[in-house]
Amino acid sequence: MVSKSTISTEFLGLEMVSPIILLSGCVGFGDEYSRLEGFSNSHVGGLILKGTTLEPRLGNEPHRVIETPSGMLNSIGLQNPGAKEVVDTILPKLEPLETHYIANVSGSTIEEYVDVCRAFDDSLVAAIELNISCPNVKKGGMEFGNDPEMSAQVVESCRKVTAKPIITKLSPNQADIKLNAKLCIEAGTDALAVINTISGLAIDIDKKELVLGNRAGGLSGPAIKPIALKKVYDVYQVSKKHGVPIMGQGGISSPEDAIEFILAGATTVGVGTALFFDPLICNKINQGLETYLRANGLSSLDDLVGGLV
């Protein structure tokens, strides 16, 4: 357990023992990873549940995951038991004092996003993250998050039906992430998560076919870190004017990575893919952050946010 320490921070009005937040899709619904010896959910500031839709989903055909140089491509297809099952059956089994559990909401229409947010509004989750990297079925499958106006419509509609803090997770697969951030802030988001996975492809040269069952997938892990860092840096130029905090993410796998994201403008840092190759990595990052603060004579990580000279 991380005792009272300088790496604690505040995000969305929530006290967090560490700036680390476990990322959606990499820790199930919060229970399985906590069974790991040497790790407890109380070591991290928050944990984001698997993306949840209104109805249950079985996910995509295999293959759904493939390792790449310094990363992985996934196209899980939002496998989940549906909002009602998550709220009624899974959430009551979680220990809310352990960490801040955050819902991850997905939808294929604005109405679906709204209905799932409503389902979580009266639950124990501390906040709601909007995964806007989902295809909009009413707009020919274009992803909400690749269009700043559509992104903002999702935020504005969800804002009306929940009192929970909203985090909007921005897509890197678009032309103008700064405009997207600005419109989502104006639509009422409380924080921004930067970035979701980067669209990618893998080909089997013997079969001459695409490897992933869903054709394309999302690239994550250390391979995307420099891109993610640049997006956080860009978004921070907009978000700091509005006092809207960023949860930086994309390939973070060391204390040094986390500090880079904080210096670029992130208040909290997400860890996802790195958990697959080092399940205890969060303990190491926490320790490294404490060491860095002490070595630099800093009392709090907050002094570092956007602290590039």
> Where along the sequence are the contacts to ligand FMN (CB under 6 A)?
23-26, 50-51, 72, 74, 76, 78, 104, 131, 169, 196-197, 220-221, 224, 249-252, 270-274
Residue 62 CB, shortest distance to ligand FMN, in Å, is 13
CA angle 145–214–81, rounded 5-degree value: 75
What is the rounded CA–CA span in Å between residue 282 and residue 299? 20
> Are 19 and 304 spatial neighbours (Cβ–Cβ below 8 Å)?
no
Beta strand pairing call for 198-200 and 217-220: antiparallel
**Tokens at residue 15, please?**
């006290």
CA angle 19–64–49, rounded 5-degree value: 30
Residue 174 CB, shortest distance to ligand FMN, in Å, is 15
Residue 86 CB, shortest distance to ligand FMN, in Å, is 12
Residue sitting closest to ligand FMN (CB): 25
Pick between residue 182 and residue 231 the one whose CB is nearest to ligand FMN: 231
Q: Which of 108, 66, 15, 70 minimizes the C-alpha distance to 252?
A: 70
What is the rounded CA–CA span in Å between residue 157 and residue 95? 30
Residue 198 CB, shortest distance to ligand FMN, in Å, is 9
Pick between residue 51 and residue 148 the one whose CB is nearest to ligand FMN: 51
What is the rounded CA–CA span in Å between residue 175 and residue 112? 26
Pick between residue 6 and residue 135 the one whose CB is nearest to ligand FMN: 135
Pick between residue 114 and residue 224 the one whose CB is nearest to ligand FMN: 224
Residue 218 CB, shortest distance to ligand FMN, in Å, is 6
The counts of H helices and E strands in the chain are 8, 16
Write out the catalytic residue numbers.
134
Strand segments (E) across 217-307 = 217-220, 246-248, 268-271
Q: Which of 55, 34, 172, 185 minimizes the C-alpha distance to 109?
A: 55
Residue 129 CB, shortest distance to ligand FMN, in Å, is 7
> Are 133 and 169 spatial neighbours (Cβ–Cβ below 8 Å)?
yes
Pick between residue 185 and residue 258 the one whose CB is nearest to ligand FMN: 258
Helix (H) or strand (E) holding 194: strand 191-194
Pick between residue 19 and residue 272 the one whose CB is nearest to ligand FMN: 272
